[in-house]
Structure 1
Amino acid sequence: MAWRGSSVAAATVAAALTLSLVTGCGSGDSTDAAGVVSDYAAAIADKNVQAASDLTTAPASAAETLGATFAGMAPDSVTTSVDDPVEYSDGTASFTIKTTWTWPDQGTFETSTSGTARELSSGWKVQWEPGLVYQNMPAGARLQKVRTDASPAPTVDSRTGKTFMKMEPVDEIVFDPAAAGRKSDAAINALARAIEPIAPLVTAAVIREKVDQADGRAVTAVVLREEDMGLVASDPAKIAGVTVNRTGKLVMDDRRLSSPLETGLTNYWAAVRDATAGWQVQLVTPGSRPQRLAGKQGPPAKDIATTVDQNQQLVLGDSVVDVAQPATMMTFDASTGGILGMARNDAAAKRDVQAGTSYATGSTLDPVFAAVDREAGGDDGKAGRLLFHYGLGAKFTAPGVSLPHSPGTPKVSSADFSPSDYTSSMLNMGALGVALARADAGRSDAVAPYIVKGAQTKVGGGELGEFSPDTARKILADMAKTAKSGDASDLTGAPGLRALVGTNGPQGPGWFVGIQGKKVLVIYCEGDKSGTAALQVAQKYFRVSAQ
């Protein structure tokens, strides 16, 4: 979309010598008016602020205004042309310069401004005035291009259509140790005391750790909703090195909830907003509100429908908190593979346990390996393909689910599928549980896990195919035995439970994969006695669910 500014015709004088030129290719002769104007326009087109400023009568002022405008506009390209240059006998000249700022796939912004040049003892110079950038622009002003978003912002909704996440005004409390200087330690202590009433877990030690990890750069100590700012003990902005940035953020509608799913859903939400974002060119003058000069705005984005169950998310959060070591739990819809929720305790958050990261399965999948190996007749290649049909060995890229920082690749290194050699992600384990639950309902095909309704999960490494109902029934029978008389037999309050339980040795990790009712449960724990910890999480889940 182009917007054209006003143009001012240059005055003409009968005795004037009229010159015509178009830039960016100047005359190369800066000893006359045409040359210096051409060179100035060419420098603007080259986005060379210093070169353009040096050609003016006030290089410092020009550099300040041009530098601020180029930084604010951030154009992909700039084109200029000089029209109607007129040189007068008194050593002055007038001209009109057209400037077009371009952003690919967005639009252009065009101005037409008038200016003068003067012949000084040092040669011809462009008479500097802010109006060269935008007609009648006052001193100290600048142009800037900003992103615009349609209102209202989309919400992220649960499976029932209830709001799960929404955009709210928040305050980012940022600490800059460089700005605090020698008072850095005292400032951190003061900041921790100020936010303690609303954020007691963000201690001085936590803030120092963030600063250390950022190599001394500014860090966000905490993000508070606007209503929470009234609960702080003192104004953080008055502390040395602390600034409070007011912005908007996607947050949980229910303040009791937290989930590692937030990151992936926020990224998806941001991508949706990016697709409908607009832009605006503004004239920014100190002491005044920005003036809109041009722009284009897309329509509001649709709300994002997900498979998340808010009640389930609350139960999951309660289920993982009692275990001291890293514990993470996910639940899936046993029919569709939709992710119902995911929670992890603080220890797992520090370990950055992710749904898509592969971890050693140990003995957990022994019943699966045994059944598949029998069906494959010892054929390693065939067995690997059969495992894939249950979702094992696949790499899932589900829109709305964060990808692991260092994704592992599930692997099998021997014909008998030695448990010590196999790794799997929580998404893989969930897909396995859903495939087996579907087999119990008369289906013989696996489905990929997903969280955003209508967004297809990419499956890497092959295609999910049909599996043998007989093999699935054998695995289900072994899972029922584990729940009735095996390692999961002490669990109560879970009628009809089928489970896979196992560890990768004394130091774990430990797993629990369960099918119960219309849900598939996947629990992953790390550390000593992690298998026992996984069972503890499962028991807490069944107890809280019953309540």
Structure 2
Amino acid sequence: MKIVTMKIWVRRAPAVACAAVACGVALSSCGISLADNGAGAVARQFAAALERQDASAAAAFTTAPGQAGDALTSTLQAMHPEKVDVAVHRPVEYSDGTASFSLTTTYSWPEGRTFETTSNGTARHLSSGWKVSWEPSIIYPGLPVGGQLRQIRTDATPSPSVRSRSGKTFMYLQPVNEIVLDPTRTTDVGRSTRALARSLAPIAPLITSDVIAAKLSKSEGRAITAVTLRDSDMEVLTSSPSAVPGVTVRKAGKLVMADRRLMSPLETGLTNYWQAIRDATSGWQVQMTAPGLVPRKLTGAQGPAGPNVRTTVDQGMQLTLGDAAVEVGQPATILAFDAGTGAVLGMAQNSYAVDRGINIDDAYPAGSTLTPVFSTVERVANEQKQSSAELLDRLGLGVQFTVPGASAPTAKRPGVQTVDFRPGDLNVSMLNMGALGVALSRSVSGTMSSVAPYVIDGVPTKVAGGSLGELDRSMTAPILKAMSATAKNGDASDLTRAPGLRALVGTNGPQGPGWFVGLQDRKVIVVYCEGEKSGTAALQVAQKYFRIR
């Protein structure tokens, strides 16, 4: 028996072995040394490689480098630890050329999460020297061949849902199927593309071979998700997409609309907010898994279920806006706000606007739309010796909004750019236009202050670049008068079924963009269109809204 540097050869008898273990010295993989060519040394080399998370190097110290490398790589990748500490204890050599030792392995992750396991190992003296006898149980006691340890995220149940202003479910988590095409896994990408489009046609006819090909072109050789289908959609298909070379069907969970007729650009922002709640209440778990076996929990912790997300979205309004947005064959986006509170009631856009990447945060040229506003602001600023910029801020035009549930965290925020406040020099977002409309509507009811738009109840909007504030009737009254004139005798006078309408209409030249801002029935409607005759297109979208609301 060899303990530390002493050689004492004995028969492997239970009593002697127990005595040897009892007087063994516990050694860390980075602690004091045994003989360089002893079983303890190879155990420590094996442990040191694991600490470096170098599976190949650790496997090289075993009797089966190939099997060990696969198993160690699988566990290290599935555990994805920030740090691994491995301690070697009680290395004992026996007279038959074998040895025993134990390992204490500690996996660490951020936020103080750790998992410690103790396993037993053996070693053999071969012609090439001492080697760790490979057994999966050296990773974890009882780990079968092909098994691994893994650290996974867990989410509290029930999952929060996103609710509309009436309290009904607007969006909820549902199992979905991601149809993934990997061009590197098919010998004929064109054939696979066409075959996949044919397979999807019964439920997703718009996902044509050209659409799939365009996604592949942008992916630069990486796998793409052609479409995401609910389980009920999969039942409609007459052939399985996974039968197409290069295609796999990946199960996932996704926040989806409860009413399948609805689509909204707000989905991205609401999903981001919902996901933040899930992240804050998420837990973790270490499991032992193996083919054909149910995963076994070894340790972990789980936070409480998160609250539902209460929004200001009106589902009926959202449906109306969606129908209005598809009225024209060019990029069109339409928003509705509550005229008293600034709450966003809904937002919709057509496929042309989606393709253009138009969003609620970006600023676009206002053109002639705000001419009545500019002239009034400049006059009031001169009369009252105030800054035009400050007055624009109070109207919601000179500030930048970040609206939880509407603003995408990764979206570019160009902000507002002004040059002497002349028509054509001011860029505004749809949120700015909505805030202007709400400020003017509030002044009609006698509430002389502006407010920020919002989507999630109780969650404030961030306002940057200036301050909202008190309004002066000497400024709002002339603007409202001009808007009434536009609705009665001006560019918006052809609109029907909109009693009491006040409107701002304008473009930024022949190619737009074109705007419509309407105050009617305690709501503010903002329409933004791009392309040729975009001012006319904006009026067409507005008319469709008033006709079907």
Tell me the TM-score normalized by structure 2: 0.94
Aligned counterpart in structure 1 of residue 426 of structure 2, from 405, 409, 422: 422
Deviates more, 1:352-361 or 1:295-304: 295-304
Q: Which residue in 2 is equivalent to 1:65?
A: 71
Closer, same or farther in 2 for the Cα pair 1:446/1:28, shift >3 Å? farther
Deviates more, 1:79-88 or 1:442-451: 79-88
- Tell me if structure 1 keeps the 8 A contact 2:376–2:475: yes
Q: Percent identity?
A: 53
Alignment of 1:174-323 (within 5 A): 174-182=180-188, 184-323=189-328
Alignment of 1:30-69 (within 5 A): 30-69=36-75
Q: Which residue in 2 is equivalent to 1:20?
A: 26
Q: Which residue in 2 is equivalent to 1:492?
A: 496
Q: Which residue in 2 is equivalent to 1:405?
A: 411
2:84 partner letter: V
1:152 aligns with 2:158: yes
1:542 partner letter: F
Superposition deviation, residue 26 in structure 1: 5.9
Closer, same or farther in 2 for the Cα pair 1:502/1:29, shift >3 Å? farther
What SS class does the counterpart of residue 116 from structure 1 fall into?
strand
Q: Which residue in 2 is equivalent to 1:128?
A: 134
What SS class does the counterpart of residue 82 from structure 1 fall into?
strand
- Tell me if structure 1 keeps the 8 A contact 2:405–2:455: yes
Q: Which residue in 1 is equivalent to 2:350?
A: 345
- Tell me if structure 2 keeps the 8 A contact 1:12–1:86: no
Distance 2:418 2:386 in 1: 10
- Tell me if structure 2 keeps the 8 A contact 1:10–1:85: no
Tell me the TM-score normalized by structure 1: 0.94
Distance 1:186 1:399 in 2: 43
1:21 partner letter: L
- Tell me if structure 2 keeps the 8 A contact 1:19–1:87: no
Distance 2:364 2:302 in 1: 45
Aligned counterpart in structure 2 of residue 512 of structure 1, from 512, 516, 541: 516
Q: Which residue in 1 is equivalent to 2:93?
A: 87
Structure 2 gaps, min length 5: 1-14
1:52 partner letter: A
Q: Which residue in 1 is equivalent to 2:3?
A: none
Q: Which residue in 2 is equivalent to 1:78?
A: 84
- Tell me if structure 2 keeps the 8 A contact 1:355–1:426: yes
- Tell me if structure 1 keeps the 8 A contact 2:398–2:466: no
Superposition deviation, residue 337 in structure 1: 0.9
Q: Which residue in 2 is equivalent to 1:5?
A: none
Closer, same or farther in 2 for the Cα pair 1:11/1:339, shift >3 Å? farther
- Tell me if structure 2 keeps the 8 A contact 1:81–1:99: yes
Q: Which residue in 2 is equivalent to 1:3?
A: none
1:249 partner letter: K
What SS class does the counterpart of residue 181 from structure 1 fall into?
coil
Aligned counterpart in structure 2 of residue 441 of structure 1, from 437, 440, 445: 445
- Tell me if structure 2 keeps the 8 A contact 1:332–1:340: yes
Superposition deviation, residue 254 in structure 1: 0.5
1:464 aligns with 2:468: yes
Closer, same or farther in 2 for the Cα pair 1:106/1:485, shift >3 Å? farther
Aligned counterpart in structure 1 of residue 329 of structure 2, from 297, 320, 324: 324
1:82 partner letter: V
- Tell me if structure 2 keeps the 8 A contact 1:514–1:522: yes
1:154 partner letter: P
1:118 aligns with 2:124: yes
What SS class does the counterpart of residue 221 from structure 1 fall into?
strand
- Tell me if structure 1 keeps the 8 A contact 2:89–2:103: yes
- 1:388-416 residue CA offsets vs partner (Å, 9 max, x unmatched): 111112111111113373322211112xx
What SS class does the counterpart of residue 391 from structure 1 fall into?
coil
Distance 2:45 2:310 in 1: 56
Q: Which residue in 2 is equivalent to 1:6?
A: none
- Tell me if structure 2 keeps the 8 A contact 1:190–1:239: yes
- Tell me if structure 1 keeps the 8 A contact 2:53–2:76: yes
Distance 1:196 1:150 in 2: 36
Distance 2:353 2:230 in 1: 25
Q: Which residue in 1 is equivalent to 2:532?
A: 528
- Tell me if structure 2 keeps the 8 A contact 1:171–1:223: yes
Closer, same or farther in 2 for the Cα pair 1:82/1:189, shift >3 Å? same
RMSD: 1.9
- 1:168-212 residue CA offsets vs partner (Å, 9 max, x unmatched): 111111111211122x21221111111111111111111111111
- Tell me if structure 2 keeps the 8 A contact 1:36–1:125: yes
Task: Say how many residue pairs are matched.
Answer: 534
Structure 1 gaps, min length 5: 1-8
